[in-house]
Amino acid sequence: MITNKNKSMHRHLLHTLNLIIISTLFFSSAKATETGSSHNLFILNQLNNSSYFVGRANLVTRDGFSDTFFGYVDVNYRHKLTSTWAIETGYRHAFLELNEQWREEYRPMLSLYWRDKLGDGKFSNRHRIEWRSFEGNTVNKRRYRNESVWTSSSTITDYKLIPFIEEEFFYDITKSEFNGNWLTFGISKFWSKGMKWKLAYRLQSQKFNGEWNDRHVLVAGVSFFSFK
């Protein structure tokens, strides 16, 4: 049963989320010159008590929805070390459009995850090392990525939407420089026990030729879960 106190808390969470998104849009509007979208598929299948198959796929557009210029698919094995720690190894095959041609990328990955409760929600932090090899004459690279995600344990509105916040930064190990940052605010909802969708806004900051450029990105995704 939803009490008046719970309704008040849900309204407060919704107003807070709206304020954060509006503030981010306002303060970044002067810098951001591009828009785009990111469409995601996530699959998690439990193999036994401590092992999981993880699959991901992604398509990215720029100039709004008009130009699909990047995509990937990956397969991974995740092993749960403790109740809060897990390790994951996998391979990602990526495609990037350059000068009207598609360049392939071959990307082995190694990740370490930590998950626990934080406030009225759940918090996770992921460390990932990527070994990036490219088709053609592009120099191979190594990259470190750190992603933090906070997901509320409380739902908002009668539709039981789940607010979440993500922050991820990118560090080019080969060049010894930070060259990317993604700040994401969104909502998600379980359609069923094994299926969830998400919709979010992302301020994507990328460093090119020594200068930082921002892009407003609409993020959409569907996740499928299978547990034993």
Q: Tell me the pLDDT of the chain (228 aa) as tens digits.
A: 445 544 554 555 555 555 455 544 444 443 446 899 999 999 999 999 999 999 999 999 999 888 999 999 999 999 999 999 999 999 999 999 998 899 999 999 999 999 999 999 999 999 999 999 999 888 999 999 999 999 999 999 999 999 999 999 999 999 999 999 999 999 999 999 899 999 999 999 999 888 999 999 999 999 999 998
Rounded CA-CA distance 63/69 in Å is: 10
Q: Specify the pLDDT at position 64.
A: 86
The secondary element (H helix, E strand) that includes residue 39 is strand 34-46
Q: Specify the pLDDT at position 18.
A: 57
> Going from the N-terminus, what domains does the chain have, and what CATH number goes with each?
4-226 (2.40.160.40)
Structure tokens at 223: 């996740």
Structure tokens at 51: 């092992």
Q: Specify the pLDDT at position 31.
A: 46
- Identify the residue whose tokens are 């940052």: 181
Rounded CA-CA distance 124/118 in Å is: 9
Radius of gyration (Cα) for the chain, nearest Å? 19
Rounded CA-CA distance 127/46 in Å is: 21
Structure tokens at 224: 């499928």
**Strand 34-46 relative to strand 51-62: parallel, antiparallel, unpaired?**
antiparallel
Cβ 203 vs Cβ 28: under 8 Å = yes
**Nearby residues of 156 by Cβ (< 8 Å), 6 or more positions away:** 10, 11, 13, 14, 17, 162, 163, 187
Q: Specify the pLDDT at position 209.
A: 85
Question: Per DSSP, which regions of 118-194 are E strands?
Answer: 121-134, 141-152, 162-172, 177-192
- Identify the residue whose tokens are 């190694």: 110
Structure tokens at 185: 């605010």
pTM metric for this prediction: 0.85
User: Considering only CA atoms, which of 88, 173, 90 is closest in space to residue 124?
Assistant: 88
CA distances from 197 to 19, 61, 162, 182 (A): 23, 19, 10, 20
